Structure 1
Amino acid sequence: MLPKNLSRKLMESSCLYKGKIQHARRVPKEHIFSYNIYYFYINLDELVSAKDDSFLCKYIHKRFKRPMRYGEGDLKSAIVNLVRQRLDLEINGPIFLLTQIQNMSFVFNPISVYFCYDKEFQLKSIVSEVNNTPWNEQHCYCVPVGENETVMDFNLQKDFHVSPFMSMDFDYQWLISHPGDSLSIIMHNLKEKEIYFSATLKLKRLKLTLWNLMYCKFRIPLVNFKVVFGIYWQALRLWLKGVAFVSHPKKQG
């Protein structure tokens, strides 16, 4: 479904998304914080041809850190194969990646999201690539997208350790809007239908121009370092509040 007020040509171009992320923990201790953030929304076809494209595409290509879990070769083909294996779906259109790229040779993405379309520009699948720290592990969740869904609602079982202050016995509910003028991603951690924790990402689309890129970098400097510092700073605050530490499942015993 093509978002209103955006042409297909514009929708098939890489862009920036800028906005705010909020984490809200309700149980066992309330803990809420938010900060400004921006992401690159990259058409993987443009990433492949970036060497012969504009300065901005070359900028992204040079600083993009390819996830090593997919091995060598074309990243788009790797995602197509992943969706085929997990969901038995064929992706024959563009694939977009919402992610951070390297800043001063460093990047850490708690989550990157692939939006996989067919040739009619219908969204068919979403792949969420989750990373943890300090273990430097990665896990992918693949979900199919139904037709004519304005806001996509996914329910999944948690099967990857992310936070040392959150156990594995949770379910996820993800609410994701179609990327357009705005983009919303909400993730709830549920236990017996009660929301224990929510992460909310609210973003507005910006055209990928040098001016907009410099604006984002000026308003939110060193964003990758800010993300990692924030993870450890908030972990310290949770510990000081007396929230129980949960060992990595593989390290227990």
Structure 2
Amino acid sequence: MTTEPAAALYACAITHVRTTPRRYALRHRTYMWLIDPDHPPRLPRRLRPLARFDPRDHFTGDLPSIRAGLDGFLAEHGVDLDGGRVEMLTHARVFGYVFNPLTLYWCHGPAGEPRCVVAEVHNTYGGRHCYLLRPDATGAARTDKEFYVSPFFPVDGGYRMRLPRPGPRLDLTVHLDREGTRAFTATVRGTRRPATAAALLRLALRHPWSTLAVSTAIRVHGIRLYLRGLPVQPRPGHRTPEKAT
């Protein structure tokens, strides 16, 4: 499999811990890709059903490339990378299906200096929303919550994130703070592997239909919380921010 230098695979453990109004935890294993969206991996024909990176799955979904969608979003917020490199952490389409709760873009200027991070969030209702972040040297950033994700949390509070660039280890944390307390924490921990055909096959066999399993697990746990009496918050009308006025 021919790949650009940035391409890598991460075998991940993802945890969700809800602390209010009652404690509940979800943990599952999957794998994610780190790619340069300007140069996505080129897979042998027989492996292509296992990984496809489709511009329709990101930003407005109507631009010819993922990088064009990213640049369009950044331009709306007054950011120009001047052709600098981007690292994208995401799930790929597997057998035509993908669900990406969180895609991250580490954006750099032409000399390699960090400019910003974009966090693209998808919910299970088909909506998506992007946050423009300015992390400090440790990868820490804050932003107000602006998008309906869980049916058990309203759109209020704020996120505290720790998003260091992926290296040999992947170590990401997102906290949701509401009313002065930590209401929810998500973590992604992973180990980097070369994006070879053998590594992809091993991970795909270990985690078949990987993103379908993620979305199914989220829905199943949501049903369990509902049956335990957790109140559902009304879902506000929401257009993707890239198309909103």
TM-score, with structure 2 as normaliser: 0.86
Greater share of helix: 1
Measured in 1, the distance between the counterparts of 2:51 and 2:179 equals: 45
Aligned to 1:31: 24
Aligned to 2:48: 59
Assess, with a 3 A threshold, how the Cα gap between structure 1 residues 191 and 11 changes in structure 2: closer, same or farther.
farther
Assess, with a 3 A threshold, how the Cα gap between structure 1 residues 119 and 216 changes in structure 2: closer, same or farther.
same
Note the 1:51-130 alignment, pairs <5 A: 55=44, 59=48, 63-66=52-55, 67=58, 69-130=60-121
Measured in 1, the distance between the counterparts of 2:32 and 2:82 equals: 24
Aligned to 2:163: 176
Uncovered stretches (5+) of structure 1, i.e. residues with no partner: 1-9
Measured in 2, the distance between the counterparts of 1:63 and 1:11 equals: 15
Aligned to 1:43: 36
- Deviation digits for residues 69-125 of structure 1, max 9, x if unmatched? 152223213312322331534343211211111112111111111111222322221
Assess, with a 3 A threshold, how the Cα gap between structure 1 residues 65 and 81 changes in structure 2: closer, same or farther.
closer
Assess, with a 3 A threshold, how the Cα gap between structure 1 residues 173 and 87 changes in structure 2: closer, same or farther.
farther
TM-score, with structure 1 as normaliser: 0.84
Higher mean alpha-carbon deviation, 69-78 vs 175-184, is at 69-78
Supply the AA of the counterpart residue of 2:28.
Y
Alpha-carbon shift at residue 32 of structure 1 (Å): 0.8
Assess, with a 3 A threshold, how the Cα gap between structure 1 residues 87 and 200 changes in structure 2: closer, same or farther.
farther
Q: Secondary structure at the match of 1:45?
A: coil
- Which residue, out of 183, 196, 203, partners 2:183? 196
Assess, with a 3 A threshold, how the Cα gap between structure 1 residues 185 and 34 changes in structure 2: closer, same or farther.
same
Q: Is the 8 A contact 2:159 2:175 kept in 1?
A: yes
Assess, with a 3 A threshold, how the Cα gap between structure 1 residues 140 and 88 changes in structure 2: closer, same or farther.
same
Provide the aligned length of Structure 1 versus Structure 2: 234
Supply the AA of the counterpart residue of 2:118.
V
Measured in 1, the distance between the counterparts of 2:114 and 2:50 equals: 25
Measured in 2, the distance between the counterparts of 1:173 and 1:231 equals: 22
Q: What is the Cα-based RMSD across aligned positions, in Å?
A: 2.5
Q: Secondary structure at the match of 1:77?
A: helix
Measured in 2, the distance between the counterparts of 1:61 and 1:241 equals: 37
Uncovered stretches (5+) of structure 2, i.e. residues with no partner: 239-245
Q: Secondary structure at the match of 1:46?
A: coil
Q: Secondary structure at the match of 1:154?
A: strand
